[in-house]
Structure 1
């Protein structure tokens, strides 16, 4: 199964932190919805999922397989809960999905990268600078410096640029 890690980053490389004062760019949200619909699923961490649900973003994903990765919660209404990224991917593969979209947040992304579970990266770079924020940590236990191959880049609008990379995972 092909796995795609999707994230919105700031121009200085941090995860874009959104909130009421700084909502995410609509172009990035629309892009996520497009990729989720194409895959028919997405994997998300518990805190990110709770944020999505609180903002009312869940309705657009009706009928999709949503897998929430959490070590502490065993059940959430309307979604599947997995104890690890590997368990989430196994579930989606058993359901017959050819692609899995790894949606976030930072802990989930870093765990997937750290375990070598990612085939492609999609980064939407938002035109903002942020003084603090979360980073992708690609130098965890078994994940070191690695060249990636640029597959595509395009402007999404409102200054958001999308970069798509292959990690060359076999």
Structure 2
């Protein structure tokens, strides 16, 4: 059995996943934030691989390992799983449990090899360009979209006009207060 590659993104109603800091906070300690964290922890328990691009990796490497009172569970999860960063410029990731993938022309082969290995899901979050590339290559097995009732009017989007996602079917839809989790599988 091959591992699934899952894209998990927070997304606005108009399809933006780029967070300008005004509509999504992963450390939100409200009732909704705690419910979202609980859902994220449940999803994280199904994975043992975390895939990101260089920019997201560097942002996360500087933030999550420094969290000492993390109630979201993200720090514990990232310390537990194998991390894969796609980068042509990183040689020393400076984060235990990280493997550097070179991407480019090798991306499809590298991800195929990861999916063939024994293990649980590999989850990609953030990493807009990488997510778009993997969607374009048809390598994504599941989409988990946390849809926020926000319209930003601008920002980078997950889907481009050339992405054909018609072979994804809705597997789950539920609300977490005013956020909707829409989960699609191939």
Considering the TM-score relative to the shorter chain, is it more than 0.5? Answer: yes
1:83 aligns with 2:68: no
Equivalent of 2:51 in 25, 32, 43: 43
**Offset of residue 56 of structure 1:** 2.6
Which residues of 2 match residues 89-100 of structure 1 at below 5 A? 89-91=112-114, 93-94=116-117, 96-100=118-122
**Offset of residue 18 of structure 1:** 4.3
**Counterpart of 1:108?**
130
Cα distance in 2 between the residues matched to 1:164 and 1:76: 31
Distance change >3 Å, CA 22–CA 112, structure 1 → 2: closer
- Give TM-score, length-normalised by structure 1: 0.80
1:71 aligns with 2:88: yes
- Give TM-score, length-normalised by structure 2: 0.74
Equivalent of 2:173 in 130, 150, 153: 153
* Paired positions, count: 163
Cα distance in 1 between the residues matched to 2:100 and 2:150: 33
**Counterpart of 1:165?**
184
**Counterpart of 1:9?**
11
8 Å Cα contact 2:5-2:124 kept in structure 1 = yes
The root-mean-square deviation of aligned C-alpha atoms, in Å, is 2.6
Unaligned stretches of 5+ residues in structure 1: none
Distance change >3 Å, CA 162–CA 52, structure 1 → 2: same
Q: What secondary structure is seen at the aligned counterpart in 2 of 1:62? A: helix
